[in-house]
Amino acid sequence: MLQVVTRHENEGVVIGDNLHVTVLEIGENQIRLGISSPDIEGGYREEVLSWTPQFKEADSAAVGSAALAAVTPGLSPG
């Protein structure tokens, strides 16, 4: 399910109990987001996952950060 939410700079949304996403800056061709959660280990940009063949074949819900790090050596989160 895709939810579309309109936010301005310094506004955000809370997803679940503790995932906070805040719009930090809106530029001409990009936006900067701040994502915070006490449980989050790391995040990966969607385009990094899209070109990783091993990830394409795996069930994205079942791939943990350790497994993802194994198929994307040398790349850092975010």
Q: Which of 16-30, 34-48, 51-65 has the highest mean pLDDT?
A: 16-30
Question: Residue 34 above 70 pLDDT?
Answer: yes
Degrees, nearest 5: CA angle 73-68-12? 115
Amino acid at 8: H
CB–CB of 60/50 below 8 Å? no
How many helical (H) and strand (E) elements, i.e. helices and strands, does the chain have? Answer: 3, 3
**Dist. CA 75–CA 32, nearest whole Å:** 20
Q: Report the Cα 32 to chain-centroid distance in Å.
A: 12
What is the percentage of the chain residues whose pLDDT exceeds 90? 32
Question: Residue 1 above 90 pLDDT?
Answer: no
Give the pLDDT mean for 23-29. Answer: 95
